[in-house]
Structure 1
Amino acid sequence: MELDAYQRGALRTAASRETKNELLHLVLGLVGESGEIAEKFKKWVRDLGSDEALIDRGDIAKELGDVLWYVAVLADYLDLSLDDIAATNLAKLAARQSRGVLGGSGDDR
């Protein structure tokens, strides 16, 4: 599936841009869903000894899908294309790799 096609599909279940505080709702939703993934891994460490064979990949996939939905709808709210975001990100990472600065910190390296 193409990312922009997914984005269009996600918008079918999104609230209107005109909904009060919709931008804040989308940002907080993205953070919340990301936190749910972190919480599942916290319990994996605490309860399952960090055994990778015991990761519930189906459950993680569902949560990643929720994150993807929020990313897609938030990007649309800001008039951004997921295809463009993905291409720009890959180009940025390739440039960092070619300069030997994939590791480290800072946005502009």
Structure 2
Amino acid sequence: MHLNEYQQGALRTAAPKDKHNEVFHLLLGLVGEAGEIAEKAKKIVRDQDSDFTRWDPEDLKKELGDTLWYIAVIADHFDVPLEDIAQLNLTKLADRQQRNKLSGSGDNR
């Protein structure tokens, strides 16, 4: 499946763009889903001595899928195709790698 196909599929279950406060709702949903992933990771650190091999891959796929849904729908609100986001990100990271700047902090490194 291509990312833009996924995005179009995700939109079939999204609220209308003109729904009051919808972008805010979507942003809170994205943060909430990312928080769920972090919470599960925290429990692996706390209860399983950071043994991430114990993370249930099916559960992880579901949670990552939820975050992907929010990203796809938020991007659509701003008329940005997911494939554009993915390509831009890979280009940015390749540039940082070429300049030996993968580590560190700051958006424009």
TM-score by length of 1: 0.96
**CA apart distance, 1:87:** 0.5
- Give RMSD over aligned pairs: 0.8
Which residue of structure 1 aligns with residue 3 of structure 2? 3
**CA apart distance, 1:53:** 2.6
**CA apart distance, 1:68:** 0.3
**CA apart distance, 1:57:** 1.4
Question: Mapping of 1:93-104 within 5 angstroms?
Answer: 93-104=93-104
User: Structure 2 counterpart of 1:12, which letter?
Assistant: R
Deviation digits for residues 34-78 of structure 1 (CA, Å, limit 9, x no counterpart): 000000011111122222331111111100000000000000011
Which residue of structure 2 aligns with residue 79 of structure 1? 79
Question: Mapping of 1:43-58 within 5 angstroms?
Answer: 43-58=43-58
Q: How far apart, in 2, do the equivalents of 1:65 and 1:53 lie? A: 20
Q: How far apart, in 1, do the equivalents of 2:104 and 2:51 lie? A: 28
Q: How far apart, in 1, do the equivalents of 2:39 and 2:94 lie? A: 31
Unaligned runs of 5+ in 2: none
Unaligned runs of 5+ in 1: none
State the aligned residue count. 109
